[in-house]
Amino acid sequence: MKKTLSLLAVTLLGISGGHAAVTLVSGFSRFDQTSPDSGTAVSDLGTKSLSWTLNDALWNNDGTWTSNATNSKKNGLDVSSLQLSGAAGYTVNINFSSAASLDNTDSLFCASIGGTGLNSIVGRYESGKIGIANNGGSSGRPASGLSSTAIDFNSPFSLTLSVQAGGAYSVFITQNGTTQTVSWPNMAQAGNLDQLYIGCWATLNGNQSSPTVSGLSFWEGAATQDDLAAIINVPEPATASLSLLGLGALLLRRRRK
């Protein structure tokens, strides 16, 4: 019963205001292996299930994992089943515990977009800041495609990719309650999101990093800055189930009156 209520609570989780709503589709509130040394985690958020087998990752006891940048293996998650389209808009949020020992142009995430050519959106490191790159290449980045303020990569931070209907996109960088926005006004990726890579570029060798990841979620609709607090802090299913139980009790009391 509790498991069913938990699923319902997370299924119903949507955020709306004076703009289009974003709705949780899938994600991981934490990363635990399905069995010892399996190397596989299964999603526990949203209505659609994902399974991720990580390559040579370090699994941490606190429900996080750390990628290994010293080999050529890449950790990409197939998310094509979620049917997230840039034509309609979608959001991807990644919570990082840290990202140590970064070199310029190292990738923190790469969203691989279906369609012709090398279509991707990359969140990259450069001189203590976060920037973006498009189409799998590290050249031709705009001056506006770099955060204005350096962040502390030894402390938790979140990167939120928001793709608007039509494919225009921004990356929100949030740390200690402060958010910066990086965008590329003249670029768009209107195709479907096929794969999400963490700690590497999808189409280029090298440029790998070793971030520690604590959470990951996928949403229908393009998030605005007003949505970030709820998206970054999406509750674990057990927490959400308590809220739903409380709501159910309230509705039951109202019916009896």
Q: Tell me: the pLDDT tens digits for 46-60?
A: 999 999 999 889 999
In terms of Cα–Cα distance, which of 22, 51, 12 is closest to 218? Answer: 22
State the Cα torsion 151-152-154-159 to the nearest 10°.
-30
Domain boundaries, the chain: 2-242
Q: Please answer whether residues 84 and 90 qualify as being in contact, where contact means their C-beta atoms are separated by less than 8 angstroms.
A: yes
In terms of Cα–Cα distance, which of 169, 13, 155, 152 is closest to 91? Answer: 169
Q: Which whole-number Å values give the CA distances from 215 to 37, 43, 177, 198, 253, in the listed order?
A: 20, 10, 17, 12, 36
Give the CATH number of domain 2-242.
Answer: 2.60.120.200
For the full predicted model, state whether its pTM sits above 0.95: no
Q: Is the pLDDT of residue 253 over 60?
A: no
Distance CA 217, CA 149 (A): 25
Q: Each residue of 192-222: pLDDT tens digit? A: 999 999 999 887 777 899 999 999 999 999 9
In terms of Cα–Cα distance, which of 202, 199, 197, 213 is closest to 71? Answer: 199
Q: Is the pLDDT of residue 246 over 80?
A: no
